[in-house]
Structure 1
Amino acid sequence: MAAAAVPDLPSLGGRRNHYRERVADALRAALIAGELRPGDVYSAPSLAARFGVSATPVREAMLDLVREGLVDTVPNKGFRVTEVSERQLDEYNHIRSLIEIPTVAGLATTADPAALEALRPVARSIVTSAAAGDLIAYVEADRRFHLGLLGLAGNAHLVEVVGDLRKRSRLYGLTALVERGLLEASAQEHLELLDALLARDAERARAIMTRHLGHVRDKWAG
């Protein structure tokens, strides 16, 4: 599946750091979606052509990913995607479950309904991306939704920890879910979750989050 171009980059003008960050975000999404495979080596020019941008910000963004442990440098060749073991994926998802399930369930009684409703367009974009089979857009929208939702709890460090865990995961099963027509159903869970939180139904929200994170490990990273 061809990678999508990095969105809205031309509008960033001379804001070099912002440009680099947007490229890095797109590369992370491609890594998480499994479009850049572990063990494979990618050069900055080839990635630049793939994402429709110039090589310099790609090279700079990949160095950011090296510091995050997502890729390694290969002298005179480019960057190799680091391997993630099944045990690591299990550990990442376990930590996410310990953090996200009770935090999200608690939002049923604490979150501002207007703030929850503001996340609905993002949840819909997840569904739209799933229907189109656009994995990079799907992963990016999914990241914005979940981190935005956790942000309503008012704990910036918690959001940072979950964001780091998401970066380190690999969801290789997403392509198979698209091919089987199952990804859109999983995407709908984001809208279900918002409805449960707006209804102040903490137990339903807890059940949806438990099911959703189970999909992340059992189906999406399968």
Structure 2
Amino acid sequence: MDVKRGLGMEPIHRKTTKEMVYEQLKKAILVRELSHKEIFTETMLANSLNTSRTPVREAVADLINEGLMVHIPRKGFKVREITEKEMDQIIFLRTSIEVQGIKILSDIITEEEVRQLYKIVERQEKVIASNDSIKFIELDQLFHRKILQFAGQELLEQFLSELYNMARLMGHTALMKEGRITEVIQEHLDIVKALESKDGELAIKVMENHLLSTVDSVRNFTD
């Protein structure tokens, strides 16, 4: 017997310095502790985090690839700023992609896939108690990506991942506002219930309402 699998345990994972730096920087970006108006250097961040420049360089490279930071030639790098025009495009693309995914999935979803979606929502409910905003958002992204995966829309899933990172720059703080978290949980449950009943029209409606509510919370926060 495979002891590790048989006991249902996961191997211990010790985080590297680069991983810890990445998590610190990502959280600082999403909760807006790092201003998009300021240009940073590896040395500045290394000194602030009390580490060497190498893990900072590696972490920043990952954040640039995710679309959360941008490189400024001969100066350093900064947090990416999302313009009003870009925001409109992100909203349009996300809505188009996710409605297409849920339209397809509502006809073919399996009981196991429904169970997995419910499990993600349960995990979101648990992390609320620990006030882990980064984990909550990661699970939110996982929920939406799974819908496209289950629908067999792998290319759309890739596009959504890129859009999601940019959307987080707009709406992470707004999403974590008191009251909105509870709404997100309920909206996710409504989406799963509609899929479980294989009611395509209802599934599309609740997904559209969910995305619209998210957009409204972001716009109200940034106004």
Give the one of 3, 11, 16 matched to 2:13.
Answer: 11
- Tell me by how many angstroms 1:69 deviates: 4.2
The yes-or-no answer on 1:83 pairing with 2:81 is yes
Q: What secondary structure is seen at the aligned counterpart in 2 of 1:154?
A: coil
Q: Which residue of 2 aligns with 1:207?
A: 205
Give the Å deviation of 1:107: 1.0
- Kindly indicate whether the alpha-carbon contact (under 8 Å) linking 1:44 and 1:59 is maintained by their aligned counterparts in 2: no
Query: 8 Å contact 2:67–2:165 — kept in the other structure?
Result: no
Task: Kindly provide the amino acid, as one letter, of the partner of residue 96 in structure 1.
Answer: R
State how far apart, in whole Å, the 2-side matches of 1:178 and 1:131 are: 13
Matched to 2:207, the amino acid is M
TM superposition score normalised by structure 2: 0.74
What is the TM-score with the length of structure 1 in the denominator? 0.75
- Are the counterparts in 1 of residues 30 and 173 from structure 2 also a CA contact under 8 Å? no
1:11 deviates by 0.4
Q: Could you tell me how far apart the structure 2 residues matched to 1:68 and 1:160 are?
A: 12
1:130 to partner: Cα distance: 4.1
SS in 1 for 2:77: strand
Corresponding residue number in structure 1 for 2:46 = 45
RMSD over aligned Cα atoms? 3.5
Alignment of 1:47-62 (within 5 A): 48=49, 56-62=54-60
Instruction: Provide the identity percentage.
Output: 30
**Partners of 2:95 and 2:208 within 8 A in 1:** yes
Tell me which amino acid in the other structure corresponds to 1:212: H
- Distance in 2, matches of 1:129 and 1:47, equals 28
Structure 1 gap segments, 5+ residues each: 1-7
**Residue type matched to 2:142 in 1?**
R
Structure 2 unmatched ranges of 5 or more: 1-9
CA distance, structure 1, for counterparts of residue 117 and residue 171 of structure 2: 26
* Corresponding residue of 1:105: 103
CA contact (8 A) 1:28 1:167 kept: no
Secondary structure class of the residue paired with 2:13? helix
Q: Structure 1 residue 64: deviation in Å?
A: 2.7
Q: Deviations over 1:139-182 (max 9, x none)?
A: 11111111122111112111101111111224555535644433
Aligned pairs for 1:119-130 within 5 A: 119-130=117-128
Going from structure 1 to structure 2, the CA distance change for 1:111 and 1:26 (only over 3 Å counts) comes to farther
CA pair 156-35 structure 1, distance change in 2 beyond 3 A? farther
How many pairs were matched up?
A: 208
Structure 2 counterpart SS, 1:64:
helix
> Separation in 2 of the partners of 1:30 and 1:126?
21
Q: How does 1:132-171 map to 2 (within 5 A)?
A: 132-170=130-168
Counterparts in 2 of 1:119 and 1:69: CA distance versus 1, 3 Å:
closer
For residue 127 of structure 1, what is the amino acid of its counterpart? E
In structure 2, relative to structure 1, the CA distance for the partners of 1:124 and 1:157 (3 Å cut) is same
Report the CA distance shift for 1:119/1:159 in structure 2 as closer, same or farther (over 3 A). Answer: same
What is the match of residue 4 of structure 1? none
